Amino acid sequence: MSLTVTLHGAGRTVTGSCLEFDTGKARLLVDCGMFQGSRTLESLNMAKRVNNPEKLDAVILTHAHIDHSGLLPKLVKDGFSGPIWCTDQTGELLEYMLADSGRIHEGEAERMNRRRDREGNRAMEPLYTEADGLEAWRMARPVALGQWFEPAPGYRARLWNAGHILGSASVELEAAGVRMMCSGDIGPDNKAFHPDPEGPAGFDHVFCESTYGDRAREKHSIAERRDILAGVVNEALGRGGNLIVPTFALERTQELLLDLANLSRDGRIGHATVFVDSPLANRATKVFARHLEDLEDTGGTNPFESTAIHYVNDVSESVRLNTISGAIILAASGMCEAGRIRHHLLHNLHRRDSTVLFVGFQSEGSLGRVILEGAERVRITGKDVLVRAQIRRIDSYSAHADQAELLDWIAARAPISGSLMLDHGESAAIDVLARLAQDRKLAPSVIVPGIGETWQLEPGSRASRLRTAPPETAAAVGRDWQNSYADLASSLKQRLLRIENAEARERAIAEMRAVLDSYTEFREAKKDRHDHR
């Protein structure tokens, strides 16, 4: 019996995690995540990534973040009916995460269809619905950390604390005589709420995330992190405007609330009011509150009940926040790609007295990354927005291990007798981590697989590639033409106004049109030549 693994996502990108293991007799997935980032990358979500999902035996889920779980409803919609193995906390969170994701897709389809109807085009279906999300959640099968279980015929597995978010786990997996470890997302040392990552040693193959493979973060204690946050809050509110924080609904929001509640209690941020404008974050916070006994650093109290914190669910209340000043507003999504944060950015980015604070990873091609990299103008919901707000960043809230911590985690899995395969990282990060792993001889071979590649896994020997990555998936990774278009469109009018007079501006527009027309004519002529061969 042989064993293969196919990477269906997170190859040289940090989203879409999905590994398919196949013994020839049974198949299972570790994670089934959604791609997030550029529009081209997100278009991969529409494809059927796993062949014959109705014949897939099981899924093991490392945690509830959408980039690891978000395509489970589509998998079920496409025919999968097996168990989804995960920790108890992950199962609880999935109810809210997948249902919310389904509502977002329904809303996006509805908005798109209003335009398509006006243009006379056929209506599009949502990727999946809220009902699909809840159906996938009902298939979750909780399993305790450290407990051996049989996820599918011929497989044995155990889950280990990954220290990333509530319920997160790494997966120890055995099949066809091969012993493997899938990291999931690894948390940093000394993270709030959770103990440090754990796991056994001695594997044939290890699959490890690489999000911060090129970054060494300055280490801060929780007390030092609160000092930094207090400084940003007081500076921001001292300017008279709002402090807008794009935040991930799961884990990052709750960590911020822990710190803000403590700072408010100690009188270190005055009488600042914190609005959590995310129904999903509010539901996830209730799950955290139910598991207070499992959480570290709470001091035996419930920080989520602080009088400084107000939870916003109703849309009309969210809209009213657009008229206020001097508040702290936490809203999802963390990369500014969807949700209520886009409305708060629309109303605050142009204000010189407002501040936007980033506390999480911003993937390439996302609106958050564009703002963080210093864009003077951005495009939000079809509107050009001038960036006048102060842009701030705090790295110490990251839920991911940095370069040194990743290398330590890999070294703790030694000896690795076969291959170390690095995924869940952008090219710059993953290449640096691969080089360091090779220099330190952490495994006989270090492999960076691409999306769509299949590898043969044998006990005690290097993995061998059976199928290369399709070119269309490699081309989807990173910034795309739509990012470049948004950059151009948001600055085009200002560029034209710099031209000396109206007549010259007309000439510039005519020349731009001519360039675009020449590309169209070239492609049409090329197609004609091909058709006549």
CATH number of the domain bearing residue 43: 3.60.15.10
Residue 175 CA, chain-centre distance (Å), reads: 29
Please list the residues that pair with 391 across neighbouring strands. Answer: 356
Tokens read off for 140:
């979750």
Q: At 405, which helix (H) or strand (E)?
A: helix 403-411
Please tell me whether residues 392 and 517 are part of one structural domain: no
Q: Does 449 fall in a domain?
A: yes
Q: Choose among 235, 198, 252: nearest CA to 400.
A: 252
Please tell me whether residues 263 and 281 are part of one structural domain: yes
- Region for residue 171 given its phi and psi (left: phi exceeds 0; alpha: psi -120 to 50; beta: otherwise): beta
- What was the pLDDT predicted at 481? 61
Q: At 170, which helix (H) or strand (E)?
A: strand 169-175
Q: Does 445 fall in a domain?
A: yes
Residue 112 has phi, psi (to 5 degrees) of -65, -40
- What was the pLDDT predicted at 527? 57
Please tell me whether residues 83 and 156 are part of one structural domain: yes
Please tell me whether residues 204 and 228 are part of one structural domain: no
Number of domains in the chain: 3
Please tell me whether residues 125 and 205 are part of one structural domain: yes
pLDDT tens-place values along the chain, 533 residues long? 799 999 999 999 999 999 999 999 999 999 999 998 778 888 899 988 899 999 999 999 999 999 999 999 999 999 999 999 999 999 999 999 999 999 999 998 998 888 776 767 788 899 999 999 999 999 999 999 999 999 999 999 999 999 999 999 999 999 999 999 999 999 998 899 999 999 999 999 999 999 999 999 888 999 999 999 999 999 999 999 999 999 999 999 999 999 999 999 999 999 999 999 999 999 999 999 999 999 999 988 999 999 999 999 999 999 999 999 999 999 999 999 888 999 999 999 999 999 999 998 888 888 999 999 999 999 998 899 999 999 999 989 989 999 999 999 999 999 999 999 999 999 999 999 999 999 999 999 999 999 999 999 999 999 999 999 888 776 667 555 665 665 666 567 777 888 888 888 888 888 888 887 887 666 666 556 555 55
Tokens read off for 494:
């200002």
- What was the pLDDT predicted at 524? 65
Question: Whole-model pTM?
Answer: 0.86
Strand-pair category, 445-447 with 416-423: parallel
Residue 85 near residue 143, CB atoms below 8 Å: yes
Please tell me whether residues 412 and 325 are part of one structural domain: no
Q: Does 319 fall in a domain?
A: yes
Please tell me whether residues 314 and 354 are part of one structural domain: yes
The residue behind tokens 């470890």 is 181
Cα distance between residue 95 and residue 194, in whole Å:
22
Please tell me whether residues 195 and 280 are part of one structural domain: no
Q: What type of residue sits at position 31?
A: D
Residues in CB range of 350: below 8 A, 6 or more apart:
385, 386, 387, 388, 389
Please tell me whether residues 138 and 245 are part of one structural domain: no
Q: Choose among 97, 27, 87: nearest CA to 283.
A: 97
Q: Does 72 fall in a domain?
A: yes
Q: Does 509 fall in a domain?
A: yes
Rg (alpha carbons) of the chain, rounded to whole number: 24
Boundary of a domain, candidates 397, 426, 456: 397
Please tell me whether residues 49 and 158 are part of one structural domain: yes
Residues in CB range of 341: below 8 A, 6 or more apart:
244, 246, 247, 331, 332, 333
Domain that holds residue 502: 481-525
Q: Does 493 fall in a domain?
A: yes
Q: At 39, which helix (H) or strand (E)?
A: helix 39-42
The domain that contains 392 carries what CATH number? 3.40.50.10890
Residue 14 near residue 41, CB atoms below 8 Å: no
- Which one-letter DSSP state was computed for residue 196? P
Q: Choose among 278, 213, 232: nearest CA to 393.
A: 232
Q: Does 533 fall in a domain?
A: no
Please tell me whether residues 170 and 183 are part of one structural domain: yes
Please tell me whether residues 486 and 467 are part of one structural domain: no
Per-residue b/e over 310-342, b at no fewer than 16 CB within 10 Å? ebbeeeeebeebeeeebbbbbbbbbbbbbbbbb
Q: Does 465 fall in a domain?
A: yes
- Region for residue 263 given its phi and psi (left: phi exceeds 0; alpha: psi -120 to 50; beta: otherwise): alpha
